[in-house]
Amino acid sequence: MASHPERRADEPVSPKAETARFQRILVTGAHGFLGHHIVPALRAVFDAELICPSRFEFDLLQPSVPERLMREVRPDVVVHLAAKSGGILDNRTRPAEYLYENLAMNTAVFHAAFEAGVRKFLTLMGGCSYPARAPSPIAEEEMWNGYPQPESAGYSLAKRMLLVQSWAYRAQYGFDSVVLIPGNVYGEWDNFHLRQAHVIPAMIRKFVEAAETKSEEVVLWGSGRPTRDFVYAGDVAALIPWFLRNYDSSEPVNLSTGQSTSIRDLAERVARLAGYHGSLRWDTTQPDGQMEKIFDTRRLRALGLSCPTPLDDGLRRTIAWFKAARQQGAVRL
């Protein structure tokens, strides 16, 4: 995949030029976890109409629906966030659904956007698409050097195909599409259903509930030894407008902190911030997953960009949101 020149983050861009270029921005998955962060970030930067349909209006898994969506909305830009996503337990239980739904939806929406003459297409894929044995910190060049973690391979490989589609349509048609790779994202509006949740929302729910019931012990999966690179969703969202304005390449970019945190350290942080004072027990009969997954952020930093929110600050915001949203019945449990 050939690189294309990019502007640096500090290069001025005329707001009028942006408005003239992007007048209608379609965001699929706008009502999901990252959509709740990215839509306000787009509104803050672009003087453009944002169209944020729900799945009930346009079920992108149904034949001809992506084409109808493009025909009715007529967007200049598509930010494709719609996906089937979940934690390791749900991926392990339903790998075929994760493979089919993501592969079918991504392929159809991408092609429909191209056919409709969209000027810019931006989408996200997970860091779990990297090979399970990729050395940390994981650079973007490692993507094709092995098979992903088997427990989530259906989802991971479906997402990996976005890179192939981006390259192929750019090479043959000159279609401007961008694929970004956030690290382990967490924040407000996440999914806190214990069967489907990723590690941070699952821990937050467990420790908040344990603090309220004054439980003496919380049981956690694995040994606590694996390390991860956690990135606050607000930081990821803040970067999206820059990539829409300035980045013209099918080379992916990691969006993360590059900082290593063990699962045990994470658990202790969440417990403290949630006000839980009992003991933690690690169930080592359950899998740890990949032992080390930290992302190389040199390509991001070379663009003059970063994800600056400290982990404790992001966790504190997420815990406060979870407590308030639960009282209002506005959280996925």
Burial of 10 (0-12, 13-18, 19+ CB in 10 A): exposed
Quick one: tokens of 237?
Answer: 């969202």
For residue 169, indicate whether it is catalytic: no
Average pLDDT over residues 77-99: 91
Is-cis flag, bond preceding 137, omega within 30? yes
pLDDT digits (tens, 9 = 90+) for 123-157: 999 999 999 999 999 999 999 999 999 989 999 99
**Do 63 and 104 touch, CB atoms closer than 8 A?**
no
As a three-state string, the secondary structure of 24-51 is EEEEECCCCHHHHHHHHHHHHHCCCEEE
Nearest-Å Rg of the Cα atoms of the chain is 20
Average pLDDT over residues 110-116: 98
Side-chain-facing half-sphere of 63: CA atoms under 13 Å: 0
Instruction: Report the distance separating Cα 159 and Cα 236, nearest Å.
Output: 18
- What one-letter code names the amino acid at 152? S
φ, ψ of residue 326 in degrees (nearest 5):
-65, -40
Instruction: Report the distance separating Cα 174 and Cα 197, nearest Å.
Output: 38
pLDDT digits (tens, 9 = 90+) for 219-267: 999 999 999 999 999 999 999 999 999 999 999 999 999 999 999 999 9
- What one-letter code names the amino acid at 146? G
- What one-letter code names the amino acid at 210? A
Average pLDDT over residues 43-57: 96
Q: Which CATH number fits domain 18-189+230-259+294-310: 3.30.930.10, 3.40.50.720, 3.40.50.2300, 3.20.20.370?
A: 3.40.50.720
Quick one: tokens of 325?
Answer: 């949203």
CA distances from 106 to 121, 203, 285 (A): 12, 30, 36
Catalytic entry in 155, 186, 247, 276: 155
- What one-letter code names the amino acid at 240? I
Ranges assigned E (strand) in the chain: 24-28, 49-51, 77-80, 120-124, 177-182, 184-186, 217-221, 227-228, 230-232, 253-255, 261-262, 279-283, 292-293
pLDDT digits (tens, 9 = 90+) for 153-212: 999 999 999 999 999 999 999 999 999 999 999 999 999 988 878 899 999 999 999 999
**Do 27 and 51 touch, CB atoms closer than 8 A?**
yes
Residue 26 has pLDDT above 90, yes or no: yes
